[in-house]
Amino acid sequence: MEVHKFGGASVKDDNGVKNITRVLKSLTATPKIIVISAMGKTTNAIEEIINSYFHTPEKVKENIDLIKSKHLAIANNLFKTPNHSIFTCIENLFTELEYFLEKNKSPNYDYVYDQVIIYGELLSTKIVSAYLNENHFENTWIDARNLIKTDATYRDAHVNWEQTTAQIQNTINPNKITITQGFIAADEHNFSTTLGREGSDYTAAIIAYATNAKSVSIWKDVDGLLNADPRHFENPILLEEISYSEAIELAFYGASVIHPKTLQPLQKKEIPLHIKSFYHPEAGGTTVGRASKLKPEVPCYIVKHGLVLLSLSSLDFSFFVEENISEIFALFHKYQIKVDLIQNSAISFSVCVDNKFNNIDKLITHLQAKFKVSYNKDVSLYTIRHFTPEAQKKIEKNKHVLLKQVTRETLQLITKK
C-alpha cells in the first residue's frame, strides 16, 4: 500500500486534475490511497465566506457563487456530458453548505469555521474521483470524517489514534484505489473538525501509520524539499536526502513544504516520505527517512512573517522564576498562542509567538495585570539550521535585529521592517 497526497496547487484547475492521471501512470501497480486538498486557493476563498457570515452577511451568497462557478467551470472542462452526475453532486454540496449557514445558531467562530471549510476538500475529491473513474483508475471515494476521529478542538483537533486506526483499517479496502480528503476529520459527535491549516500532509501520515503503508509521497509544485523557500530566498538547493529528525526540526521551525505533525507517525514505523514534483514525476525529489546526514550538507533557511515579539518583566524587579513561566505558558494554552522562540534572563522573559487565532490582544491585556509588557507586532523570525558566518551575514544584511539566539546547530533572528 502506498499513500499519495496531492496539494491544492496540483489540482488548481482541470489541467491539474488531468495531470494526476499522468502521475499515477508513472507509478507501480501497488494499491494506493490518494489524499487530496482543496483546489488552488479555495480554502482562502471559503475563509472569506466565513468572515462574511460573521461580519458582512450580505456578501455571503456572492462569495459562495464565486466558488461554485469556479468548480462548475473545472467540471465542465473535465466532463463533456452535461448531465454527468458530478454536476448534481456539486450542487448538493453547495446546498448543504447554504443550509448549514442558514440554520446555524452557534456564535463560536472556530466551530463554524470547521463546519464550513471542509467543503473545499469535499468538492475537490468528488471531482477528482469522478474523473479518475472515467479514465481507467477505478476508485472508491471515502469521507475522511469517517476515518479520522478527533477531540472537539476546532481548527486544531487532536487525533484519537486508537479509534482512528480502527476506523481506517475497517473502512479502507487495501486492494483498491481510495480517494479521500486531507485536513478534515470529525469528533465523537460527528461534527466536522480540522487538523490545522495545511494539514493534508498530516492526514496522509495518519493513514500511512494506520495501514502500515510502504511509503508516503507528497506531490508539490516544487522539485522536493529545498534548503530555502524560493518565494523568500534566491537560488535554493534541492535536499536529496534528509533524516526524520532533521525534517522534524525544519518543520517545527516553519519549513512550509512539510506540515509539522506529519513526520512523527511516519518515524514511529519508519515509513519513508518522498516529496516530489507533480510536474516532473520521474525526478528523484527528496526522501525523508533514516539517513544520518543531510545530503547535500548546506545551511537551511526558514522565515516566518507576521509574528509577535513579547517581552515581559516583573513589576517589582523580582527574579523571573519557574512559577512565572508556568503561569505564562498556561495563558498561551488558554489563548491558543503558538510559541516559536523563548529567551529569558533573571528579570525578563521574551517570547516570539504566532497569533494564528487572533487572540494576542486578549493575552496582552491578561499579562499586563501582573507583568510589565512590551511588544512588537508584525516581526519576522529567521531560522538557519547548520548556519555559517556567511549565511548569518546574508540574513542580517539591511535588517533591524530585535533578538538573536544561537545554539550549536541553529541561529534564529527576530527582525523588524
Task: State the average pLDDT over residues 92-119.
Answer: 98
Angstrom distance (rounded) from CA 115 to CA 104: 10
Residue 158 neighbours by CB under 8 Å, 6+ apart: 150, 151
The pLDDT tens digits of the residues spanning 267-311 come to: 999 999 999 999 999 999 999 998 778 899 999 999 999 999 999
Question: Which of 159, 150, 228, 222 is closest to 192 using CA atoms?
Answer: 150
197 pLDDT above the threshold of 80: no
Angstrom distance (rounded) from CA 5 to CA 62: 31
321 pLDDT above the threshold of 80: no
Question: Which of 158, 121, 114, 111 is closest to 143 using CA atoms?
Answer: 121
**193-207, 242-256, 379-393: least confidently modelled range:** 242-256
- Enter the C-alpha cell of residue 26: 508513472
**149-153, 210-214, 274-278, 345-349: least confidently modelled range:** 345-349
Question: Which of 224, 192, 195 is closest to 207 using CA atoms?
Answer: 195
Taken in order 220, 221, 223, 225, the sign of the CA dihedral is: negative
The pLDDT tens digits of the residues spanning 378-410 come to: 999 999 999 999 999 999 999 999 999 999 999
For 367-413, the DSSP string reads HHTTEEEEEEEEEEEEEEET--HHHHHHHHTT-EEEEEEE-SSEEEE
The pLDDT value given to residue 323: 80
236 pLDDT above the threshold of 80: yes
The pTM score is 0.85
Instruction: Write out the H or E segment, with its range, that includes residue 73.
Output: helix 60-78
Question: Which of 181, 203, 195, 197 is closest to 125 using CA atoms?
Answer: 181
What the chain holds in terms of domains, given with CATH numbers, is: 2-221 (3.40.1160.10), 300-416 (3.30.2130.10)
The pLDDT tens digits of the residues spanning 343-369 come to: 988 888 899 999 988 999 999 999 999
Angstrom distance (rounded) from CA 10 to CA 20: 8
96 pLDDT above the threshold of 90: yes
If pLDDT is split at 50, 70 and 90, which confidence band does 60 have? very high
The pLDDT tens digits of the residues spanning 167-181 come to: 999 999 999 999 999
Angstrom distance (rounded) from CA 365 to CA 34: 46
